[in-house]
Chain A
Amino acid sequence: MTDTAAPYFTAKHGIAGLDEWELVVGLEVHCELATNTKMFCSCANHFGDEPNTNVCPVCLGLPGSLPVVNAEAVELAIRIGRALNCDVHSSVFARKNYFYPDMPKDYQISQYDRPINADGWLDLADGSRVGITRAHMEEDTGKNTHAGAGGRIHGADYSLIDYNRAGVPLVEIVSEPDIRSPEQAKTYVAELRTILLAIEASDAKMEEGSMRVDANVSMRRLGEDEFGTRCEVKNLNSLRSLGRAIEYEARRQVDLIVSGERIKQQTRHWDEEAGRTRDGRSKEEAEDYRYFQEPDLMPIEPGQQWVDRVDAAMPKLPAARRNALAGVAGVDPTTPAVVVAVDRQLDELAIAAIAAGGDSNRVLTHIEQNLAVDGAGGLSPVNLAELTLMETNSELTATQAKTVLAEMLTSGAAPAAIAAAKGFEAMDTGALETMVDEVIAAHPAEWADYVAVAAAGDDKKIKKLVGFFTGKIMQASKGQADGKAVNTLLTSKVGAAG
């Protein structure tokens, strides 16, 4: 890659060895809605109950039963749509027909050509924007357990089916093929999860399957306009799996293309243990779903009032919160500390502390490095602001500030009082220099080494010896020495000695 290449031609997927290639990913995320009851009946929507206890004629698809739409599910679907900047449409349900034993009616009630939400986007923490094609409603299937043969379908002696999950409301969120790296895919899913939790639409647990991610992955040579043939990767149970699977799939596809083979459009399953995707059924020979409008249900026409009500109740979402904090702190919204603050729900604390006169850099540093603990949200912003001012006024060293902050979290006391009680005072420079000289004198051999490696410019050894002396000085000062000041003194002294 040369410096003159346009950004478009940059392989930003971060996968080593594939510099000539562009990765193209679209994600389909299924999330179970956090409703009290199922999509089309009044059975409880509850994970982990005894198998086949939350069932009725409707969700078992018994002959003669009919579905009735759960208004709460529609409400949550609209909430998801609006959180993803989608337009909300009057929409219809459709039947997706295919035979599978965990699907009681052998068709799934879903939405096809008229989804409730369409044409939105999601702004990510890395500053990128991913288009949302649609976010539509559908019902979940039951769950198969294959007995014998280690739980695999092939060679199983028999299968057991739990229909508790059958009819649980889902929203399927389909992204545009806008994702260009495994890292961005993970960021997208993490962002989506944060939003789903914030709007209380889903508990979004990948490990319990209440949030399931399928990745459509294809590769094309840099600069090509046409998309490559895609494969859909399923069975991604964690963000880690998602990233690994996309990377694996990218390499597999490039290997095939380079060796002159054609990519077959197909569904592939991620095998976490083996670290590879495996052949599923080929889409070319896959079923034709024979979609048609569900005749048992009327169209859903939410109307502007409903949408307005949802908008009015919408909590502030992560992208907006990152922008707000970044604006107050005078930094870019993609700054890691800003992203972390919003992730940990500490952005309001940070904004209040900065508003109370706190040093924005020190506030963000504490949030990022020292406040990944329970109860951090209860910290007084005024006290946090005061703490950062004591630091910038050199009344506390960074190490002392950290200790004071820990105490502030447990006792709730003001930082000045804690510092006084602990006897923290910043050492004056003269006293510190005396202490440094004493430590050097006590370790002549190490000092000689240090002088020698510093002259030779051996960074690794320098680092080791600086660490040695800093540790001794900290010991002597009982932690009251300012690490930065010690470093400055050591550097100037070794320079003078050389």
Chain B
Amino acid sequence: MSAIELARAVRAGERSAREIVDGYLATIAEHEPTIHAFNLVTADEARAAADAVDAKVAEGRDPGPLAGVPVALKDNLCTRGIPTTCSSKILAGWRPPYDATVVQKLAAAGAVSVGKTNLDEFAMGSSTENSAFGPTRNPRDPERVPGGSSGGSAAAVAAGFAPLSLGSDTGGSIRQPASLCGVVGVKPTYGLVSRYGLVAFASSLDQIGPFAANVADAALLLEVIAGHDPRDSTSSPEPVPRYTQSLGDGVAGMRVGIISELMGDGIAPDVRRRVEEAAEHLAKSGATVGEASVPAAMFGLSAYYLIAPAEASSNLARYDGVRYGLRVDGATTAEMMESTRTEGFGVEVKRRIMLGTYALSAGYYEAFYGKAQKVRTLIVRDFAAAYEQFDVLLSPTAPTTAFRFGEKAEDPLAMYLSDVCTIPTNLAGQPAMSVPFGVGDDGMPVGVQVLAPTLGEVPMFRAAAVLEAGAPA
């Protein structure tokens, strides 16, 4: 049953939220030991929240658009009184005294949080292998990674642990795992969803977004979590459209461009074939399809691996053992901080802090960070030019289907390349989503990425809905 159907049934009094939640908790209990999608399952809190929804329905009060719908939260979203770990040892024992804005919005909409999902430590990674608490397994094949960094959230939806989940996407961390797990994943326009309460990785790139088993559910979830938040200065003041209402509008007359730079070497042939089939399907559905060029997209990866680590090196400075989380004692304050960070952070996080610190250092700033910002401007410019000719763009979400554990873990560069198709969108601050479109030669899901200009979620969802309807079995 979709999230939309569940909410409708709960609102109509046909099903109780408690019964729904218990059902999902039973599925979790059965398969979670294999999958490890969660860092924490909050069964008691979920049952209490479901009961509260049922009470509202019984009293005739509006229980909200997501009444009784279970949702899983990436464990870098702050939840009041409930541990929020970012899958890092350094936040051991920390319970936020406040809820993220999206968590508040979900509760107000009647959604029921079932737990906190696993991720690559501080959202840095593409396989969930960088979690301090062990990797998450891909529900489609437990020998393979679910992608990352929001691997737990993608796996939770793919495994039927919850119809909806939230992730965060800095360079592809929602779309890439959605692609690898065969679910829908959306990276909204930067500023559309409040970042308040999202533990920062790279502030100018981070964006919270939905996972769902289908396009309509993802659209509904985005409607609920989007909107201006006075607590986030980068939040958009624009009103939020009802994405669900235009899903059936089709793509007749829509101009669709395939990004040629993201269809070449490095993209697995079976993945490329699926993107071409997706384009053909859109053309058959009335869209005009052409080749689009975003030349600067090729430099996206390099720019990203300067900008994101630079911001991360600053964002992660606060984990120093002074106020919360892990503290490893030392003879002096400086030694205590050093020991805490040495012990508390994993290898990949340290690698990126080093990269970022270097990129911002006096004498190197212009050559690295400064230049990366210029590339970012070029990418924005190239996308703008492409969107003069096209309403939405198309590309693979990830270069390959889900890979096996350990396959890329020892080669950071190979791992970084998993995000080559998703990163340019983050640098441009624009929306993009991954829609499942058949499987690859290995039988694993392939995701097609639909990209749109700033605040172009409406055409993006419309195209995604058409792709979903025409996806190969």
Question: Which residues of chain A have a CB within 8 Å of any CB of chain B?
Answer: 57, 60-69, 95, 97, 99, 101, 104-107, 159, 161, 288, 290-292, 295-298
Contacts and interface: CB of A to CB of B under 8 A. Distances in A.
Contacts of A61: 318, 323
B429 to A, nearest CB: 11
Nearest to B202: A295
A295 B318 contact: no
Contacts of B314: 95, 97, 107, 290, 292
Contacts of A57: 96-98
Contacts of B78: 62-64
A104 B323 contact: yes
B310 A292 contact: yes
B196 A65 contact: yes
B84 A292 contact: no
Contacts of A296: 200, 203, 233-234
A296 B91 CA distance: 22
A263 B195 CA distance: 48
Contacts of B317: 97, 99, 105-107
Contacts of A161: 322
A290 B355 CA distance: 13
B169 to A, nearest CB: 16
B403 interface: no
A60 B324 CA distance: 10
B320 interface: yes
B93 interface: no
Contact of A64 (B198, B322, B334, B362): B198
Contact of B360 (A65, A68, A99, A290): A290
Contacts of A298: 233-234
B96 A99 contact: no
A325 to B, nearest CB: 46
Contact of B100 (A64, A97, A101, A292): A64
Given A97-B314, A288-B361, A290-B314, A63 B322 contact: no
Contacts of A97: 313-314, 317, 360
Contact of A68 (B91, B198, B233): B233
A292 B96 contact: no
B360 A62 contact: no
The 9 closest A-B pairs by CB, nearest first: A106-B317, A295-B204, A290-B360, A295-B203, A63-B199, A64-B78, A64-B197, A288-B362, A101-B322
A65 B100 CA distance: 9
Interface in B171-188: none
Interface string B354-367: 00010011100100
Contacts of B333: 101, 159
B311 interface: yes
B337 interface: yes
B232 interface: yes
Contact of A63 (B200, B202, B230): B200
B369 interface: yes
Contacts of A69: 233
Contact of B91 (A63, A159, A290): A63
B231 interface: yes
B97 A62 contact: yes
A107 B195 CA distance: 19
Given A63-B91, A290-B361, A296-B233, A99 B337 contact: yes
Contacts of B195: 66
A99 B94 CA distance: 21
